[in-house]
Amino acid sequence: MPNKIGELKTLLLQAGFTCGSGKGSYSNWYHPLLTGRVTISGEDGKDAK
């Protein structure tokens, strides 16, 4: 069973990522020790793709 978007966001927060702005249902996540970003699209209750 796939994870929910909200569960992924919680895991990213626990790993030290911070949420940046995104357009629409997209959110960009940044980590201070890593270059680049992780982009997640969808609402919190939906299944992750």
Amino acid at 10: T
- Can you read off the two tokens belonging to residue 17? 């990522």
Longest dimension (CA), the chain: 31
Share of residues in the chain with pLDDT > 70 (%) = 96
- Quote the pTM value: 0.84
As a three-state string, the secondary structure of 7-22 is HHHHHHHHCCCEEECC
Taking 70 as the pLDDT cut, the residues of the chain under it are: 1-2
Instruction: Report CA Rg, the chain.
Output: 11
CA 22, 23, 27, 29 dihedral sign is: negative
